[in-house]
Amino acid sequence: MRASRVAASYGARVAVAESDRFGGTCVNVGCIPKKLFSYAAHFREDFAVAKSFGWTLGEPRFDWRTLIVNKDREIARLNGVYESLLATAGAQILRERATVIDAHTVEAGGRRYTAKHILVATGSWPQIPDIPGRELAITSNEAFALERLPRRALVVGGGYIALEFASIFNGLGVHTTLVYRGPRLLRGFDADLGAHITQEMRKKGVDIRLQTNPAQLEPGIRVTYEDGATQDVDLVMFATGRKPNTAGLGLEGAGVRLAPGGAVVVDAHSKSSVASIHAIGDVTDRLNLTPVATAEAMALAKTLFRGEPTPVDHLNVPTAVFSDPNLATVGLTEEAARRQFGRIDVYKTAFRALKLTLGGHEERTFMKLVVDAASQRVLGAHMVGPDAGEIIQGVAIAVKLGATKAQFDATIGIHPTAAEEFVTMREKAT
């Protein structure tokens, strides 16, 4: 979407082949509907907190069908907006699945089109492990269109999608189990974040089982784990990774080199092994986030059609996990900082947010700064707590600009907020 619109604004003639809905994973089965579901799941707790502030409430009731209908209406609106934006930009829209024939030829709907440049931006697709009964499970794709909400759900995985859907199901009243084969959640994130989010999600009622992995599913649905234990649930959702969507596109036949997992191998300017074929977004398996893909798109349009070779900067990209509570991070983890810089200073704080003090709620917000001991530059900022994504977005600007701990300290906080803790932490963690 972004590459086509920006390239067209630079004077390029553009055609877009899309056989499904416009907007890709993010709009249809990703960021947007997931965040809407996350909002829905948070209301149950908000109602409980409201009582401690004097509000008298009736017994809240949730209707899954209402959420689905309203979500579908909003997604359909966005599909139309995106298609209109493409048409307004002057792009030719091909409502067909396209395959690459050679370095300058694409086939779609039985017709062949030639172009100086070809861009592959086909995203990724969720994967289910090859275990007996795998056909009984769903992925995040299907979770957005369930006919009814299950009474008991098993979510398999330890990454952000697994945590988000476990929180969504749990918040909507589903008895939710989250299992992960590894020793801690959120591998690749700062270890303290994984530990803290596990503790908080358990407080909220999610049954988290680490170093546990399903071996078989049977109709019903009965889950048999690798250790022989069994569990009966109504729904099993796998969130165990996504694979670049390159199968059957004709890329290898055209000479495009693919990584073992199927990702298109590209250079810093998103160029593949064939000079005229480029790739951006999840299909390259670099940093799989929607804003990163759009940044890659704009950089590519500048490179190809504005005469400004523009590499993409993948350093210090902030990201959030819309679990309950939220989690967000930017920069280096403590582990990565120690590997790269040796001596570092670490600052941590954990506290109960003011909003939760009147009702005796036990959720605790966690914040952490990782600082280079020599230069005192802030290398990473990490948070678990309400609105973590909103807070880290602002902190990310400072981290991107190379701000020092002294500059954080010199910034006066907004009181009373959770965010002010990022500029008031003074004691180093032992």
Q: What is the 3-state secondary structure (H, E, C) of the chain?
A: CHHHHHHHHCCCCCEEECCCCCCHHHHHHCHHHHHHHHHHHHHHHHHHHHHHCCCCCCCCCCCHHHHHHHHHHHHHHHHHHHHHHHHHHCCEEECCCEEEEECCEEEECCEEEECCCEEECCCEEECCCCCCCHHHCECHHHHCCCCCCCCEEEEECCCHHHHHHHHHHHHCCCEEEEEECCCCCCECECHHHHHHHHHHHHHCCCEEEECCCEEEEECCCEEEECCCCEEECCEEEECCCEEECCCCCCCCCCCCCECCCCCECCCCCCECCCCCEEECHHHHCCCCCHHHHHHHHHHHHHHHHCCCCCCCCCCCCCEEECCCCCEEEEECCHHHHHHHHCCEEEEEEEECCHHHCCCCCCCCEEEEEEEECCCCEEEEEEEECCCHHHHHHHHHHHHHCCCEHHHHHHCCCCCCCCHHHHHCCCCECC
317: in domain? no
Closest by CA position to 217, among listed 146, 126, 131 = 131
Residue 91 shares a structural domain with residue 146: no
179: in domain? yes
pLDDT, residue 360, reads 84
| Cα separation values, 428 from 64, 345, 373, 380, 402, Å | 46, 7, 11, 15, 20
Distance between CA atoms of residues 357 and 260, nearest Å: 51
| Cα separation values, 113 from 103, 110, 273, Å | 11, 10, 21
Q: Which domain holds residue 266?
A: 2-124+243-305
314: in domain? no
Residue 190 shares a structural domain with residue 233: yes
Pairing outcome for strands 222-225 and 230-232: antiparallel
pLDDT, residue 183, reads 97
Residues contacting 32, CB < 8 A, separation 6+:
23, 26, 74, 75, 78
| Domain final residue pick, 275, 305, 335 | 305
How many separate domains does the chain show? 3
Residue 268 shares a structural domain with residue 288: yes
The whole-model pTM stands at 0.96
Residue 120 shares a structural domain with residue 250: yes
311: in domain? no
Distance between CA atoms of residues 204 and 361, nearest Å: 10
**CATH number of the domain bearing residue 331:** 3.30.390.30
Residue 235 shares a structural domain with residue 252: no
125 has which bridge partners? 243
Active-site annotation, residues: 415
**CATH number of the domain bearing residue 162:** 3.50.50.60
- Phi first, then psi, for residue 245 (nearest 5°) are -90, 75
Q: How many CB atoms lie within 10 A of CB 34?
A: 20
Residue 19 shares a structural domain with residue 113: yes
Residue 110 shares a structural domain with residue 72: yes
70: in domain? yes
pLDDT in tens, the chain (430 residues): 999 999 999 999 999 999 999 999 999 999 999 999 999 999 999 999 999 999 998 899 999 999 999 999 999 999 999 999 999 999 999 999 999 999 999 999 999 999 999 999 999 999 999 999 999 999 999 999 999 999 999 999 999 999 999 999 999 999 999 999 999 999 999 999 999 999 999 999 999 999 999 999 999 999 999 999 999 999 999 999 999 999 999 999 999 999 999 999 999 999 999 999 999 999 999 999 999 999 999 999 999 999 999 999 999 999 999 999 999 999 999 999 999 999 999 999 999 999 999 998 999 999 999 999 999 999 999 999 999 999 999 999 999 999 999 999 999 999 999 999 999 999 999 7
313: in domain? no
Residue 118 shares a structural domain with residue 248: yes
| Cα separation values, 123 from 19, 57, 261, 390, Å | 14, 44, 13, 26
Closest by CA position to 4, among listed 274, 304, 255, 272 = 304
